[in-house]
Structures are given as C-alpha cells and as structure tokens.
Amino acid sequence: MSLSQTDPQIADMIARETKRQESTLEMIASENLTSAEVMEAQGSVLTNKYAEGYPGKRYYSGCGIYDEIEQLAIDRAKQLFNCEYANVQPHSGANANFAVQLALFNPGDTFAAIELSNGGHLTHGSPVNVSGKWLKPVTYTLVQDEARSDWGYVDFDSVEAVLKEHRPKVLMCGYSAYPRTIDFPKFRELADKYGALLWADVAHVAGLIAGGAHPACFPHCHIVTTTTHKTLRGPRGGLIMTNDEALAKKFNSAVFPGSQGGPLMHVIAAKAVAFGEDLKPEFKTYSAQVVKNAKRLAKELVDRGYKLASRGTDNHLVLIDLRPTDAELSGKVASAWLEQVGIIANMNSVPNETRSPFQTSGVRLGTPALTTRGLKEDDVAKVADIIDRTFRSKGDAGVIAKARADVLAMCERFPMKH
C-alpha cells in the first residue's frame, strides 16, 4: 500500500510541497536541495532501531550494522574536514552547540561571540536561548565606520578588546548572515593570546570549506560545529568536530547521555551518504560555483543601486539593506513580494538595524540551492533582475505576474532532481 492510499491527507501535502519546491527558486541562504540518495537513506528501515551509545558501545542489542554506519559517517566527516574526532549524532546545529556548551561551561561562564543583529545566531548567546540565559556572552562587533574599506567585516580590534577585558573561556566565530571569509588564523592568534579556546560554528559555510571554496577551519579551531543540511547538502542534522581527544570525550558525553537520547540512525546514514557525495570532485566544482553565483548576484544588485552588507560577498550569501533604495520597504514586505513571484528568501536584520526583528530592513539571499539546480552566473544575473523588478514594483499586480512567469520559466529550465 502506498501513502496516498493509507493517508491521502499527508500524501497530498507532500505532493503539494513537492510542486511548491519545483516551481519556486529557493534562495534562503541556509537551505539546499538534497539528493534522492540522501533521502533514500533517511527514508529507510534504519529509523526502526534504538542505538544509544557509540559504535562498539551500545546499550541495545542488534546494533552491529548501526556501528558500521555511524563509523563510516564519522570517518567521512573526519576526511572531509581534515580532523581527528567527529560526533555525528547531534539532531541539529542547535543541539550540537548546546552539547558543546554543556561540555565546556558551568552556568555563568563567559564566552565571546557576535550578536544576532550583526549576523550571529540564537545559540551564540541570545537572551532568548539557553546560551544567553545560563551563560554570560560578551560580544564583539563588525566594523561600523562606513568610510572604512572593511566596513561590515569582523572588527578584530573589538574582538581583542572583548578578550582583554573579559578573558572568556571560549571565543566563537562563524555566523548566519555574514557574507565574508572567516579569518580562522587571525581568530586563533587572538584566542591564544588571551588563553581562550576557539570555537567555530561553520553551519553556513561548511560545504564551502569541504569543497575548498572557503579556507579550512582545521587546524586553527579547537572546536567546530555545523549543520549538515545547508551548503553540505545533506539531511537536516548537526555535527561536532575537534582535534583534541579530551574535548572529543567530553563532547561525546555531552551529546549522549548529556542532552540527547537515541541517535537518529536513519539520519546518520543519510549524513554518511551526503559526506560521501561531498568528498567527490564534483562537489568542489559545485562549491566554487555557489561562490561565483553569489558574487555575480552581489555585482548585479550593486549595479542596480542596492546597498549590501560589507558591500559584497566572498561566500554563498548576500545581505541587502533596503533602506537607501526604498526607505518605506521593510524586509518583511520585500520577502513577501518575492514569495509572490516564486523567489523564497528571508527578511533579515542588517547592521545598524532600525526596525524590529519582525519587520527588519534587510533581505538575505543565498545561492546554494540555485546552484544545485544548475544555475550559473548568467542565470543568476536574470534572477537578480527579477528581484530588482519585484522590489521596485510597489506590489503592482502586473509587475508581480510578469516576474512570476519569468521565475516559472527558469524553474522549468532548471528542474529539481529528486
């Protein structure tokens, strides 16, 4: 029996969502389109089993094949990032980060990170997250002075100042809305100078690192966390890595039994499949194309008068500050217009934000999923033109309808493979 016979309601929702994905251009910088093989592993009988523990040390019988699967996922992750230890069990990036915090900190301990409004993440010390409720985040900033050529880049003077003043246990780098290369060696130099461990949450750029389109995080970082579903193009999940045996042991205990129960072995198998794909030469080509596409997107938008955070990009994303081109247009309205034309993006706070997080003055755009569909620079230039027309439309139905038709034509030219 198929799902459409046993549960037509859910089958219909899946069919409609499939159609939605096929007929829209996915430009949320943290999303991607995973392969049929990853989904095959994730949709397998591997979901049936409890496997608490780690390979060779399980609390349940019948885990022999699960040991092989998890070990292969670990080995591939280590090869991909060139590190010694990997924990592939975190259910998500937030779970990975929580486990690292559980392993490293006592309540009230201090760590340095960037604020959410400057491109950080909820799990990096936001007051609404456990990392901000139980720990004491101290924050560094981006370069604020627009007269400087490095406006919008990480301000290493502020990193040093915060390390010097607070002597935190840990210095965090890695961001959710930062369009520039992360200078891991520079962060490490400062971490060493002030006796902090360096922790990079590379969730956004992990695939670029794995594919050689962003400088490597190892050997510079003591700790690296990531999701597996963004630029890595795997199933939704998290990953923790280190070169330090003592830290690796602490992280294993913090994941299980510290904060999670049974691992999602079907997801771990899908992670192994994705890491296998990421180790292939084609993935290097893909990662390089993601960056080329983002750079072209940035150029086309700048040529049309848009202000971008840090004036451009080195990675997979651009962050538009809409205020100079249209003071009335919020990120919320702009992303709603984009959704009407079939371009899926998210509203995002920008540096020196003047609106609430529920309105924002920015829109974040990314190229990972477009690149998976096969778009190249000239195609992305056409997408930039559609975005521009949409933002200037003032919501005009005729302009939106024409842009929608152009997006549909592009979706037909670049079908999703699934």
The residue (of 204 and 220) whose beta carbon lies closer to ligand DSN is 204
Mark whether 178 is an active-site residue.
no
User: Catalytic residue among 230, 250, 299, 364, which?
Assistant: 230
Mark whether 278 is an active-site residue.
no
Q: How far is the CB of 177 from ligand DSN (least distance, A)?
A: 7
- Report which DSSP code applies to 262: S
CB contact at 8 A, 238 and 101: no
Task: Estimate to the nearest angstrom the gap between the alpha carbon of 81 and the chain centroid.
Answer: 16
Applying CB under 6 A, among 176, 242, 310, 335 the residue interacting with ligand DSN is 176
Applying CB under 6 A, among 24, 25, 27, 30 the residue interacting with ligand DSN is 30
When asked if residue 42 is in the footprint of ligand DSN (CB under 6 A), the reply is no
For residue 29, what are the CA distances in angstroms to 140, 233, 367? 23, 12, 7
Q: How far is the CB of 16 from ligand DSN (least distance, A)?
A: 23
User: Catalytic residue among 78, 136, 236, 284, which?
Assistant: 236
The residue (of 52 and 115) whose beta carbon lies closer to ligand DSN is 115
- Report which DSSP code applies to 417: -
When asked if residue 207 is in the footprint of ligand DSN (CB under 6 A), the reply is no
Helix, strand, coil in percent for the chain, rounding step 5: 50, 15, 40
Applying CB under 6 A, among 58, 69, 70, 93 the residue interacting with ligand DSN is 93
- Report which DSSP code applies to 309: G
Residue 85 has φ and ψ, to the nearest 5°, of -135, 140
| CA dihedral over 287, 291, 296, 298, signed as positive or negative | positive
**Plot region of 221 (φ>0 → left; ψ -120 to 50 → alpha; else → beta):** beta
Mark whether 194 is an active-site residue.
no
User: Catalytic residue among 22, 31, 49, 52, which?
Assistant: 52
User: Catalytic residue among 26, 155, 201, 379, which?
Assistant: 201
Q: Name the site residues for ligand DSN (rule: CB under 6 A).
A: 30, 93, 121, 176, 203
**Catalytic site positions:** 50, 52, 201, 227, 230, 236
